[in-house]
């Protein structure tokens, strides 16, 4: 079992003193995370102390829970963009998830798959031992990032998603096209970057934490390939043209662990999706992409 550090009297004094001195919130969170506090817990304790609330050790484990504030996604049965009326087929508030129908037309899905066939590569990582490219078991699929310079349709879809989600266009990463063949899957993961890991720093510098995801389903899978949320027992079957939206970053800087999700193995047919990962601030291209 994971053990959590005690939020004892000395931590309380340290935090209060640093709040009084006007230290940046991030520096206090960094110090707590470096001392093995869960990042959600650290955010939550800090916001409580700033608000003048007592935080006792027993409350710390429950304080790790994500605070659901106002949803970013517009409410109502239909969400409109300039060139689209998306029907809300399903929604949940904890975690914030919505399945939207009629986001893409048949022709747009076909065209994105065509673009994908020309651009996707096997998802691979460099083996730290040998330096060779290896295929990772967590993600058996082929992917590629595309933007408006690849095809005007991509720019049109980027605009549509920004209007539907009400999140600025520039906060979105390039659209990620992904193909899974038989047996292809994406094992349970979070889309946000673990802030306690040094390896995340580089990603976080490019527009801050990821706060929401839109998965566009480009085809229907004959068997398998559902997107599942194992912590909440939710399973979504890909339907061509529909979009799965979920958000996991709040105003307090917490991230929502209930958004753990997976792409189930494809058993028959193939699966094509386009994913838009959305940052808290403007997404910065890498210097070599600019
Ligand atoms: O394939 C899926 O259904 C999930 C894809 C996913 O999790 C992602 O693109 O981040
Ligand atoms: Fe994901």
- Domain map (residue ranges) of the chain: 9-63, 78-279
φ/ψ of 234, rounded to 5, equals -105, 140
**pLDDT at 128 (0 to 100):** 44
Residue nearest to atom 7 of ligand 1 (CA): 262
* C-alpha of residue 261 to centroid of ligand 2, in Å: 6
What residues flank ligand 1, with Cβ below 6 Å? 178, 186, 191, 213, 215, 227, 261, 263, 273, 275
- CA–CA gap between residue 91 and residue 99 (Å, rounded): 6
**pLDDT tens digits, residue range 6-23?**
788 888 899 999 998 988
**pLDDT at 126 (0 to 100):** 41
**pLDDT at 6 (0 to 100):** 75
Q: Which ligand approaches the C-alpha of residue 234 most closely?
A: 1
Reading phi first (left if > 0) and then psi (alpha if -120 to 50, else beta), residue 76 is in left
* C-alpha of residue 277 to centroid of ligand 2, in Å: 9
**pLDDT tens digits, residue range 31-83?**
886 776 766 677 778 877 887 877 766 555 544 689 999 999 999 999 999 99
SS (H, E, C) 62-113: HHCCCCCCCCCCCCCCEEEECCEEEEEEEEEECCEEEEEECCCCHHHHHHHH
* C-alpha of residue 115 to centroid of ligand 1, in Å: 18
CATH number of this structure's domain 78-279 = 2.60.120.620
**pLDDT at 111 (0 to 100):** 98
Residues of the chain with pLDDT under 50: 1-3, 62-63, 125-126, 128, 289-290
ipTM: 0.99
């Amino acid at each position: 079992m994971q053990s959590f550090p005690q939020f004892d009297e000395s931590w309380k004094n340290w935090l209060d003193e640093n709040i009084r001195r006007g230290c940046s919130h991030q520096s206090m969170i960094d110090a707590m995370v470096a001392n093995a506090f869960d990042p959600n817990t650290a955010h939550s304790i800090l916001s409580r102390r700033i608000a003048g609330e007592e935080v006792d050790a027993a409350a710390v484990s429950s304080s790790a829970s994500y605070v659901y504030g106002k949803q970013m996604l517009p409410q109502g049965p239909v969400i409109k963009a300039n060139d689209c009326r998306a029907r809300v087929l399903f929604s949940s508030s904890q975690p914030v998830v919505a399945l939207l129908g009629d986001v893409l037309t048949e022709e747009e899905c076909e065209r994105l798959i065509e673009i994908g066939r020309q651009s996707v590569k096997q998802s691979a990582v460099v083996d730290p031992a040998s330096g060779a490219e290896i295929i990772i078991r967590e993600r058996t699929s082929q992917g590629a990032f595309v933007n408006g310079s690849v095809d005007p349709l991509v720019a049109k879809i980027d605009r549509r998603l920004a209007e539907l989600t009400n999140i600025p266009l520039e906060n979105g990463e390039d659209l990620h096209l992904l193909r899974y063949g038989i047996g292809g899957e994406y094992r349970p993961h979070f889309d946000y970057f673990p802030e306690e890991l040094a390896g995340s720093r580089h990603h976080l510098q490019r527009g801050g934490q990821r706060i929401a995801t839109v998965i566009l389903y480009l085809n229907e899978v004959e068997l398998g390939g559902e997107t599942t949320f194992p912590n909440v027992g939710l399973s979504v079957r890909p339907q061509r043209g529909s979009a799965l939206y979920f958000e996991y970053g709040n105003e307090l800087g917490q991230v929502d662990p209930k958004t753990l999700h997976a792409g189930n193995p494809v058993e028959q047919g193939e699966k094509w999706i386009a994913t838009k990962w959305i940052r808290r601030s403007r997404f910065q291209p890498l210097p070599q992409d600019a």
